[in-house]
Chain A
Amino acid sequence: MTFELTEGELIAERDVHFTRDSLVRYAGASGDFNSIHYRDDIAEQVGLPGVLAHGMLTMGAAVQPVIDHFGDPSRIVDYRVRFTRPVVVDAEAGADLHVAATAAKDLGDGTWRIDLQVTVDGRAVLAKAQVVVSVA
């Protein structure tokens, strides 16, 4: 199956919700047990605004709408992000992320660059979040 994309086209959009449970679950699944992701006291001690989501959890969840759009995870051939703003996960309210994926550039060779905008309260938490997808 070949996908026809247009530069600037919004291809997927999703609201993602993280709770403290999400963080504990990701810690176990990934093996990243850094305590700033589940202990308020430690987060405070090292000067953080609160318990943070793992950057790799944000990165891992943000690409899911792209995978669902193209239907096959093996179409992802390159994926990069820069972690620019921590995602604070409140013990009660959690954190709400918004992901928007836009077709950015035809790279030739049957691949496209898809850009992700990942925001919390309208502010970007990732920069240069780019997925290269095989569309052929």
Chain B
Amino acid sequence: MNTELAGKEYPPTEPYLVGREKIREFAGAVQASNPVHFNVDAATAAGYDDLVAPPTFTIVVQQRGLDQLLADDSAGIELHRVVHGDQRFNIVRPILAGDELTVKFRVATVRPLGGNAMVSTEADILDAAGVLVATSYATLVVGGDE
């Protein structure tokens, strides 16, 4: 893949509107049981404006940023050669139903490793007011050409 990609920033994505049913579906899939993910009354009783997304729901929004990289012909990355190496979320506040989130995605570093490339990416998740909600850091191991 193209190692000159380090430092590349992509334009902010179109807003992602977080829906209640999506939160319920995701929380069920990760085997969450806290009622603030499922029950609006429980969420408001706990002091939230609406349903609360599980911490790793951030990946659903971050994916919109990653899609920009995968669609970037100058990057030369094929999805079936990509393995998720590590993942970190730094969370400023939980994502809530009703949030409209945009992603500012960038490639931090590209390091060759054997025939592969270790691609470190960073994604800022911003709310409708432009305030930071979370930052997601992912390292992708991109396999070389066969």
B25 nearest CB neighbor, chain A only = A29
Using Cβ atoms and an 8 Å threshold, which residues of chain A touch B56? 56, 59-60, 63, 79
Interface of B, helix, strand, loop or mixed by DSSP: mixed
Instruction: Give the total of B residues in contact with A, Cβ under 8 Å.
Output: 34
Q: Is the CB of A32 within 8 A of B63?
A: yes
A25-B28, A30-B29 known; A82 and B85 CB under 8 Å? yes
State in angstroms the CA–CA spacing of A61 and B84 once bound together. 17
Smallest CB separation, B83 vs chain A (Å)? 8
Interface string of A110-128 (1 = CB under 8 A from B): 0000000000000000001
Selected from B30, B54, B80, B89, the residue in CB contact (under 8 A) with A80 is B89
Q: Is the CB of B31 within 8 A of A64?
A: yes
State in angstroms the CA–CA spacing of A82 and B118 once bound together. 13
A55-B87, A73-B54 known; A29 and B33 CB under 8 Å? no
Q: Is the CB of B52 within 8 A of A74?
A: yes
Using Cβ atoms and an 8 Å threshold, which residues of chain A touch B90? 77-78
Q: Is the CB of A64 within 8 A of B32?
A: yes
Interface string of A30-70 (1 = CB under 8 A from B): 11101000000000001000000001110111011001100
Using Cβ atoms and an 8 Å threshold, which residues of chain B touch A60? 29-30, 32, 54, 56
Report the 5 A-B pairs with minimum CB-CB distance, sorted nearest first. Answer: A60-B30, A80-B88, A29-B29, A60-B56, A82-B86
| 9 A-B pairs with C-beta separation under 8 A | A22-B29, A28-B25, A30-B60, A57-B29, A63-B56, A67-B32, A73-B52, A81-B86, A83-B83
Residue numbers of B with Cβ under 8 A of A are 22, 25-26, 28-34, 36-37, 46, 52, 54-56, 59-60, 63, 79-80, 83-91, 93-94, 137
